[in-house]
Amino acid sequence: MIDSLGPKIEDRSSKIHVSVDHLTHEYPARHALFGAPSAPTRAVNDVSFAIARGETLALVGESGCGKTTTGRAILRLIEPSSGGVTFDGIDVLGLAREPLRKLRRRMQVVFQDPNTSLDPRMRVGLTVREGIEAHEIAEGAAADARVARALEEVGLRASDAAKLPHEFSGGQRQRIAIARALAVEPEFVVLDEAVSALDVTVQAQVLALLMQLQRDRGLTYLFIAHNLAVVERIATRVAVMYLGRIVEIADAAKLYASPQHGYTKALLSAVPVPDPRVRKKRLTWDGT
Amino acid sequence: MTGEPLLDVRDLVVTYAGDAGDAGDAGGAGDVRAVDGVSFAVHAGETVALVGESGCGKTSVAWALMRVMAPAARVGAGSSVTFDGADLFALEERAMRDLRGRKIAMIFQEPASALNPVMKVGAQVAEVALLHGERSKRAAWDKAVAMLDRTGIADAARRAHQYPHELSGGMRQRVLIAMALMMRPALVIADEPTSALDVTVQAQILDLLRDLQRETGMAVLFITHDFGVVAELCSRAIVMRAGKIVEDAPVDEIFHAPKDPYTAELLRAVPRLAADR
């Protein structure tokens, strides 16, 4: 009995890729000219979860719930107030500048709006190439070949490297942002509302692309989104955030079939049904 | 539908002067035809969706109907819009200004940019009444508070004294709805009014619009990219693609027997919860 349990437990823990422990992030108090300062805002309040290698954990919730702040804290794009983040056992928050820079090759991010995340005056090839050179993965002709391959992998042409962002549609620009993130061959990617701004037909294509790339490369995703119907397509597990806290975390199939928390139920009941013959009963959540 | 339509749009063309074109000439070579010969009608009390993906021309239609156009935009010579018997494109600007807000009102997507940040929200709603003939500031303010209350803003008398930044996004959208409905318009054009809101807030705003529509009998032209919202609120949908209408039918037909392959493709792509399928 003990023999058969032992390796199983070990197996499970060795699969943990990213772990977040009691993460808290406070924004400092606002100081009014007169009177007492307001209390600091807890954007993220004691959040813990683990992501296994190869899975997609979705972080969902409404605006201001802390999901984006959590994603940024994991990548140390912001310094959280307290708590821990480990990446394959490495203490991310304790890393010095240089080892953190090296680790960044393994964890990448794609943001919502490619219009602001891509430099409008920089040719697309250079944008993709930047990371390859910064992380000393390749240079010269070898770097060119990598840029070409990265563009082709997201469904663009190698010749697109010579173009500027404005020559592409919104969906194509998001593909460029994905190519840039994947060109350095990361293991973990934070997708922060990465398909939210896209039209539905383009959104479906980009989601399919992300899932294909995940299968091909064994990528691990943290998928931050507000659209529960989109999340259902891609997530292995779902964590629901409300006012800085995780109120429910479960396997995706289980969460959608039988949500446990009142807030999750309210959120699911508010998603409009694209069928005029169906009227869904709306549930409300009073926040207690 | 029987009888004269409230709004009758015939062969609407909107062009934007392009780089290569001559800005003074609506037929310039570089011009972009954002709206390319669109005809449809809206009857009194109807809720009609104008739906399509970004760049399809749906918002350009709305702006043309309100006659608030970008400087580079031109309406085609053969276009006509009849509203409540009046030829909109033939009206003097003065008459159009009187119509706007009183008989046709618009609700925008971004309440944060549509509201004046340094004016109390109650005063902004009251201003609509003052612009359209109300002489007493006191009476206009009272009407504004009543209207804010009707849109579901709790403690409206106190909220009316607040500024836009003191309200949540959902509440700001209610203020815009109050402004639009102040004069009990016959037609409200709503341009993605819930797209920037969280789903739980969106659900409340959709309920509110449905109630107000039932109560006032206003017609609504609802511009959106979201088929979920179309199904929830509208009785008919007009699907646009690349400046043209590809399909105009009752929602049940659009969703369950679309005639145009593009409509069917859009519907297939709409993300929906497995539980709602």
A64 vs B150: CA distance, rounded Å: 27
Residue of B227, B256, B273 with shortest CB distance to A228 = B273
CB-count burial class (<10 Å; 0-12, 13-18, 19+) for A140: exposed
d(CA B12, CA A202): 28
Residue B231 and residue A257: Cβ atoms within 8 Å?
no
pLDDT at A3 over 60: no
Find the closest chain A residue to B234 by CA distance.
A276
By Cβ distance, the residue of B169, B229, B252 closest to A272 is B229
Domain with CATH 3.40.50.300 in chain A: 15-28+40-106+187-288
User: Which pLDDT belongs to residue B2?
Assistant: 62
Question: What confidence score (pLDDT) does residue B227 get?
Answer: 95
Least confident window among A30-34, A67-71, A237-241: A30-34
CATH of A15-28+40-106+187-288 given 3.40.50.10800, 3.90.550.10, 3.30.70.260, 3.40.50.300: 3.40.50.300
Question: What is the distance in angstroms between the Cα of B155 and the nearest Cα belonging to chain A?
Answer: 18
**Rg of chain B's alpha carbons, rounded to an integer?**
19
Q: Where are the alpha helices (DSSP H) in chain B?
A: 58-66, 93-99, 111-114, 121-131, 137-150, 156-159, 169-181, 199-216, 227-233, 251-256, 261-269
Q: DSSP per residue over A149-171, as a string?
A: HHHHHTT--GGGGGS-GGGS-HH
| Contacts A63 to B, Cβ<8 Å | 169, 198
What confidence tens digit (pLDDT) does each residue in B198-254 have?
Answer: 898 899 889 999 998 999 999 999 999 999 999 999 999 999 999 999 999 999 999
For CA atoms B135, B136, B140, B146, the dihedral sign is: negative
| Chain B residues in contact with A270 (beta carbon < 8 A) | 199-200, 202-203
pLDDT tens for each residue of A13-63: 458 999 999 999 998 776 666 666 677 788 999 999 999 999 999 999 998
- Check B271 against A232: CB less than 8 A apart: yes
Is A256 in Cβ contact with B198 (below 8 Å)? no
- Give the nearest chain B residue to A197 (CA atoms): B54
Enumerate the residues of chain A whose CB falls inside 8 A of the CB of residue B206: 272
Residues of A in contact with B225 (CB under 8 A): 199-200
**Residue B229 near chain A (CB below 8 Å):** yes
**Range B196-234 burial, b when 16+ CB lie within 10 A, else e:** bbbbbbbbbbbebbeebbeeeebbbbbbbbbbbbbbbbb
Average pLDDT over residues A177-197: 94
Average pLDDT of each block of 10 consecutive residues along chain B (277 residues)?
87 84 51 94 97 93 90 92 94 93 89 89 96 94 95 94 92 93 94 88 90 92 95 96 97 97 95 89
